Structure 1
Amino acid sequence: MTLWRIRATVDDRPGYLSVLTASLALRGVNILSVQVQPTEQGAVDDFLVDAPDTLDEAELIAAVERGRGRDCWVARSEARGLADQPTRVLGLANRLVRDPDSAGEALRALLGADSVSWRPASTGVERGITGTSMLLADPAGGSFSLRRAAPAFTPAEYARAQALVELAATVARRAAEQVTLVLPDGAEVAVRPACAHDLSGVVELHETCSPRSRQQRYLGGAVLPQPARLRRLLEPSRGLTLIATTTGPGGAAESVVAMANLLGEGDEAEVALLVRDDWQRRGLGFALLRRLAQHADHAGYAALVLHVQAENGPMLRTLRRLGRPSVAHRDGTLLTLTVGLAVTAMAEREGTSLVPGA
């Protein structure tokens, strides 16, 4: 038996696919998988089949045409073709996460393209498919041009390819967002936006922090937060979470040494920090707070809100170093501090005051 890929178009009408499969079955062709891709010309059926060794390409095409198929394309396949399409796409996505610069090779593998090239952005160029040519928009700028001898590209293939290109651009953008901070004592930490994959590192951060540090962060107690809560903190629906990481000697796996949360709610954003005990009082908390404040400025929030224990002197000093006006409300041992952002700046330009009674 021999593996083949067969692609053909049939009328998108009830029963037409069964006529085609019956024609193949009469010749001893075993269909291993089939994908149906709707197009304006009809349903494009993409088969992976196991055919008797006595059948050649011409006989397979004849079988398809007898089954009311048209625009037939047939090519030998390898054993790797047995992996279904979702599995192949997930494998390529995993490759892009590790190496976003491999987008061209991923597109070639996904679509069996003969050539893949990147070109700068230009006006008047129509993205889409034209027969065996495809032009994809690169969110980072420019576009990818793909060609293959046969078969013609389908809208479904275009959608898959565009999704892979956008994934590569997202991963590259996240890598570009990472910065290296040099603290006053000369220590270096990498700071970047958090993602769901950071959960294990953040859990370890909480486990290595002292109960006092956790209590100061969460106010309600020193118990470890549940993973579900940490997942929500890592990827808030509104706002931003930053993590700071270090790499051990000899390129050992990175450790998360701090987490800073900016959680949007209305026109305000709540801020909270957790810094591992051995990294406290080294300027890391202030560096993270300043970056969150800058993000909140750009996002258009009116104020930052922090809930701090009155006895938490280091956090209060860190806030004062920010150099922005704030209003404090005390409820027992808890201070709620509101730090003005865009609205405050506007009021200062207009010569008004936001401080009650001023």
Structure 2
Amino acid sequence: MHRLLNTTTATRIRTATIADWPLIETLHRSCSEQAMHRRWGRTQIPRRGIERLLHHSSCWIALHTTDEVIALGSAGPVSRQPGVFDLGLQVADAHQRRGIGLALARHAAAHARSRGAHTLSAYAEASNLPMLGLLRRLGHPTEFREGAHLDVRVPLFGAGAASPRTPAPAPF
């Protein structure tokens, strides 16, 4: 099942599987080295890296009308921190600043809430202003500086966050 994200560009999201590896690899090739390093801490991601991500978290891909993968999102529990889910996002350079990352982040937040999470966590470079702006649009984050990076925590309930009764995302 697909979920439409943006009716003007017919972008939709669906659950990612390892069978999507060729599409995800193409997404990564469409991203600049700087964008890859900002998201992953390196410029190339091997298949086993995506396999680990799929094993430890729920993942979704955003597809453009041509079935081109233009974004990858993930959310999964942070070990040793009950109720905290990690958020991961990668949007192709040519498709950034169109609301795709925010839509995936909101989907991930709803998914995390439906699994009992109270906090969404993201680790980002302090200079990654687009990601930090996106996280601030999700709620009222707390930011902890760790050198050149920030550990950003967004509450999923309370002031500025969606209520606990927010429905879970539709299954894909």
TM-score by length of 2: 0.84
1:320 Cα deviation from its structure 2 partner: 1.5
AA aligned opposite 1:181: L
Deviations 1:91-135 (A, max 9, x none): xxxxxxxxxxxxxxxxxxxxxxxxxxxxxxxxxxxxxxxxxxxxx
Structure 1 Cα separation of the partners of residues 149 and 113 of structure 2: 26
AA aligned opposite 2:52: R
Could you say what secondary structure the match of 2:64 adopts? strand
Structure 1 Cα separation of the partners of residues 101 and 65 of structure 2: 19
In structure 2, the residue matched to 1:126 is none
AA aligned opposite 2:28: H
1:232 Cα deviation from its structure 2 partner: 2.2
1:230 and 2:45 aligned: no
AA aligned opposite 2:3: V
1:230 Cα deviation from its structure 2 partner: 1.0
In structure 1, the residue matched to 2:118 is 302
1:203 and 2:25 aligned: yes
8 Å Cα contact 1:205-1:257 kept in structure 2 = yes
1:341 Cα deviation from its structure 2 partner: 2.1
8 Å Cα contact 1:236-1:263 kept in structure 2 = no
1:267 Cα deviation from its structure 2 partner: 2.3
1:329 Cα deviation from its structure 2 partner: 0.5
Could you say what secondary structure the match of 1:216 adopts? helix
In structure 2, the residue matched to 1:262 is 75
In structure 1, the residue matched to 2:133 is 317
In structure 2, the residue matched to 1:179 is 3
8 Å Cα contact 1:206-1:214 kept in structure 2 = yes
CA RMSD of aligned residues (A): 1.7
Aligned residues: 157
Deviations 1:27-73 (A, max 9, x none): xxxxxxxxxxxxxxxxxxxxxxxxxxxxxxxxxxxxxxxxxxxxxxx
In structure 1, the residue matched to 2:169 is none
TM-score by length of 1: 0.42
AA aligned opposite 2:27: L
Work out the percentage of aligned pairs sharing the same amino acid: 31
Instruction: Name the structure where helix makes up a greater proportion of residues.
Output: 1
> Segments of 4+ in structure 1 off by > 4 A?
none
Structure 2 Cα separation of the partners of residues 289 and 206 of structure 1: 19
Structure 2 Cα separation of the partners of residues 192 and 305 of structure 1: 22
8 Å Cα contact 1:310-1:333 kept in structure 2 = yes
AA aligned opposite 1:182: N
1:293 Cα deviation from its structure 2 partner: 0.5
AA aligned opposite 1:199: W
Could you say what secondary structure the match of 1:236 adopts? helix
Structure 2 Cα separation of the partners of residues 227 and 236 of structure 1: 12
Structure 1 Cα separation of the partners of residues 101 and 156 of structure 2: 19
Structure 1 Cα separation of the partners of residues 23 and 45 of structure 2: 14
Structure 2 Cα separation of the partners of residues 208 and 272 of structure 1: 18
Describe how 1:209-248 pairs up with structure 2 within 5 A: 209-218=31-40, 220-221=41-42, 223-233=43-53, 235-237=54-56, 239-248=57-66
Aligned partner of 2:148 among 314, 333, 337: 333
Deviations 1:248-304 (A, max 9, x none): 3xxxxx211100011212321111110000000111111110111011111101211
Q: Give 1 or 2 for the bigger CA radius of gyration.
A: 1
Structure 1 residues 209 and 257: CA distance shift in structure 2, 3 A:
same
Could you say what secondary structure the match of 2:38 adopts? helix
Structure 2 Cα separation of the partners of residues 255 and 236 of structure 1: 23
8 Å Cα contact 2:62-2:69 kept in structure 1 = yes
Describe how 1:1-358 pairs up with structure 2 within 5 A: 175=1, 178-182=2-6, 186-218=8-40, 220-221=41-42, 223-233=43-53, 235-237=54-56, 239-248=57-66, 254-265=67-78, 266-322=82-138, 324-342=139-157, 344=158
Structure 2 Cα separation of the partners of residues 321 and 188 of structure 1: 23
Structure 2 Cα separation of the partners of residues 246 and 280 of structure 1: 13
Structure 1 Cα separation of the partners of residues 117 and 95 of structure 2: 29
Structure 2: any 5+ residue segments left out of the alignment?
164-172
